[in-house]
Structure 1
Amino acid sequence: MFEMILLCIAGFLASFIDSIAGGGGLISVPAFMLAGLSPHMVLGTNKFAAATGSFTSSLKFAKSGLCNFKLLKILIPFTLVGSILGVRTVMLIDQKFLQPLVLVLVLCIGIYTLFSKSIGQEDNFKGLTKKNITIGIILAFSLGFYDGFFGPGTGSFLVFGMINIFGFNFLNASANARFLNFVSNITALVTFAFSGSINYRIGAMVAVFMIIGARAGTKLAINKGSKIIKPIFVTMSLAVALKMLLTLF
């Protein structure tokens, strides 16, 4: 019973943070591990619970009018295909080869954002062009593939990409990134479901608190905007990098 209470608290906090800036898995995955689930069951159950929070957050962002659906309807199919290919590839290649590269990239994103005063503070979106759509498609496919194949830091990469490619501020970037991340999450979730790697009893209970956390986090992000998102984004980016660094040793 005590373990279940801790899991639910961890689920709330993970979803709350994830809906603002990504990186919630840093909280939820270790919590599921402490509950004694096997590694595959941890990942599958976490995806199941997190997908509900991700859906809630995406829906709330959509209702707020912060999502650019003209852009998303172009990018979503590429994220979906990328994620499917990533899940298939992970069965063939050792993920450990990717860790050092991702560690450096996430660390650079966190440090660059920390010291850049202007990044993501203003919405400089000038509309869709052939150039930013093409780069956006490459981003969507690549990060869909990466999320299906490996995963850590996907939210950070998506937000950073949305800011630098389309000129969104942190709030708009987070809103659109949540939708793309939700698509890749669902793909991985279906894969875990077919492999029988989900504990639905535990996952369903944690999912309730993840939904509550996602609603609270999204509401805070919408009300406070980029001022609250940037420090959380930097913190979670550096935390993901630190966790990956510790994993290497």
Structure 2
Amino acid sequence: MVTFLIVCPLVFLAGFVDSIAGGGGLISLPAYIMTGMPAHIAIGTNKLSSAMGTMISTLQFARSGYMRLKLSCLSIVAALIGSFFGARLALHISDFYFRIILAVILPLTAIYLMLNKQSLSAVSLKIEKIVGKQLLYSVLIALASGIYDGFYGPGTGTFLLLALTGLAKLPINLAAGTTKVINLTTNLTALTVFLFSGKVMILLGLTAGVFSILGNFIGAWYFKRGGAKIARPIIIIVLVIFLVKLIYDFVG
């Protein structure tokens, strides 16, 4: 019960932040780890709740026409391959060393996202015809992000948005829709790997997933009313709490 009381509100907060600016995993993953569960189980269970929230937002983007069939299909295949190998790699690292890796990567990821204000203030652009070079870059980006998301996860959505607009030169609306497709694919693929390895607390993940969906809906409503600035301080506060907890555990 204590685990549910810690995880569910923070996963709701993660969904809220993710729908506003991305980076919700910087809150949800620490939420699971702060309960004391092994890192692999925390990542696996986080994949379940995150996939539920991402599925809802992906459907919303699809209805808005922000996806292209060929681009999405090629990106899905690349993301699936990358995520599978990333998740398999994660399972071969011991829990102790994985916690050390998270203690280093989490704050670095957060700092990077905080400094890249462009990712939180993108404007809509007209969706144009996609050329071969854009497809190639998008597939390579999907493969790389798949490996990263399968292994670790937090910040993937924002990294994808930056790469698809900056490297693949996709219009922001199409980049956002493609990001959701890739993110959903990597979440589901990694989740499958962790499930078959017995690294997912299903009841907790499903319950937290409901909170993730609710957070996404409310965050989208709040974003329309100009509430994007609140995302940064929320992420910082949660990460500070998480790092203090990690340091305490290592010292103890």
TM-score range, shorter chain: 0.7 to 0.9
How far 1:47 sits from its partner (Å)? 1.4
Please give the secondary structure, in 2, of the residue aligned with 1:18.
helix
Post-superposition, which runs of at least 4 consecutive aligned residues in structure 1 deviate over 6 A? Answer: 93-106, 232-249
Aligned equivalents of 2:177, 2:240: Cα separation in 1: 26
1:139-196 Cα distance to aligned partner (Å, 9 max, x none)? 1111111211232321121010122223423x54333212211100111111111111
What is residue 32 of structure 2 aligned with on the other side?
32
Question: Is it true that 1:179 corresponds to 2:181 in the alignment?
Answer: yes
Q: Return the match for 1:153 from 155, 166, 174.
A: 155
Unaligned runs of 5+ in 2: none
Please give the secondary structure, in 2, of the residue aligned with 1:197.
coil
- Matched-pair identity in %: 32
How far 1:239 sits from its partner (Å)? 8.7
Q: Return the match for 1:168 from 155, 167, 171.
A: 171
1:12–1:209 CA contact under 8 A, matched in 2: yes
How far 1:233 sits from its partner (Å)? 7.6
Aligned equivalents of 2:241, 2:177: Cα separation in 1: 25
Structure 1 residues 43, 100: closer, same or farther in 2, change over 3 A?
A: closer
How far 1:244 sits from its partner (Å)? 11
TM-score (norm 2): 0.76
Aligned equivalents of 2:163, 2:237: Cα separation in 1: 19
What is residue 122 of structure 2 aligned with on the other side?
120
2:29–2:154 CA contact under 8 A, matched in 1: no
How far 1:33 sits from its partner (Å)? 2.8
Structure 1 residues 13, 44: closer, same or farther in 2, change over 3 A?
A: same
How far 1:242 sits from its partner (Å)? 8.3
Query: Comparing 39-48 with 120-129, which one deviates more in the overlay?
Result: 120-129
How far 1:12 sits from its partner (Å)? 1.2
Could you tell me which amino acid in structure 2 is paired with residue 203 of structure 1? G
How far 1:21 sits from its partner (Å)? 2.9
Question: Is it true that 1:13 corresponds to 2:13 in the alignment?
Answer: yes
1:110–1:237 CA contact under 8 A, matched in 2: no
Structure 1 residues 64, 228: closer, same or farther in 2, change over 3 A?
A: farther
Unaligned runs of 5+ in 1: none
What is the number of residues matched between the two proteins?
242
C-alpha root-mean-square deviation of aligned residues, in Å?
3.7
